[in-house]
Amino acid sequence: MYPEIEPHTSGHLDTGDGNLVYWEECGNPDGKPVVFLHGGPGGGCSPSHRRLFDPSAYRIVLFDQRGCGRSLPHASTTGDLSLNTTWHLVADMELLRESLGISRWQVFGGSWGSTLALAYAEKHPDHVSELVLRGIFTLRSSEVDWYYRGGAANLFPDLWEKFTAPIAGLDGDPVELYAKLLSSPDPEVHGPAAVAWSTWEGATVTLLPRPELVAEFAVPEYALAFARIENHYFVNNGWFEEGQLIRDATRLADIPGVIVQGRYDIATPAVSAWDLHKAWPGSELVIVPDAGHAYDEPGILAALLEATDRFRD
């Protein structure tokens, strides 16, 4: 990765509906614009995300999506997510792009960030110079079923038991059952549920276990925002029609792009990357043979850096 770097400009974007979206700029103010879209939804940006781009060549824009990271109000303090949808986030991106005076930018996103990147690019293709995507997630029902309704339990029965502990003995859809727990005003209810939801992901996104990553996902404030936002999006199917992002990938025909996918990605299995590649004319698919889902696994990181280096000029 490129060396550590600090923002030279930052602020909060007033969306006009009570949300303040944190954003920052790093790198070369006169460089090629790129916007980084974090995962989750609800994950927020970290300093390491700045290091995916050559700071001498790129004008690097990062922002924390509504309700998480440094954006306000934080989902750990409010259960009202009615103004937090995919299309609110797409509108936030357009407002941010316009406020920064950027005509076109490269859009980089992994996991949920790939979902948001596709939604944005399919709606505003003229404002996207390239797409760099990783760990493709399109919020098709089969994808949510696999990871949150029992499919992945076949590979991780021990971790699945921990994930389902808060809803043990209850009948119904795990995603819907979690929605009730996470919306409870009682910290004794929503707190353990949030940590169980969040650490399920932290424990399964890497090819090999990384206890320090699980510990980060278990921090109560982070876990609550992450779980509440993520669950909210899944309950509402991302505000997409079934299969919409793959169906509309033909709109990306004039946008160059690279798709990086870990062969052993449990969170977002490779079939979605494959389906997107087949539907997106001109896309390049890189399947990393010894990686899971996380962006900083060596093979995935190398492919992402190769892509951003290739597109920087």
DSSP bridge partners of 20:
14, 72
293 classed as catalytic: yes
**CA distances, 64 to each of 39, 79, 139, 262 (Å):** 10, 18, 20, 25
Q: Own/partner pairs for 250-254, CB < 8 Å, 24+ apart?
A: 250/279, 250/280, 250/281, 251/121, 251/122, 251/125, 252/118, 252/121, 252/122, 252/125, 252/131, 252/280, 252/281, 252/283, 253/280, 253/281, 253/282, 254/125
Could you tell me how far CA 200 lies from the centroid of its own chain? 16
Catalytic residue among 54, 64, 248, 265: 265
Catalytic residue among 71, 76, 111, 198: 111
Active site residues: 111, 265, 293
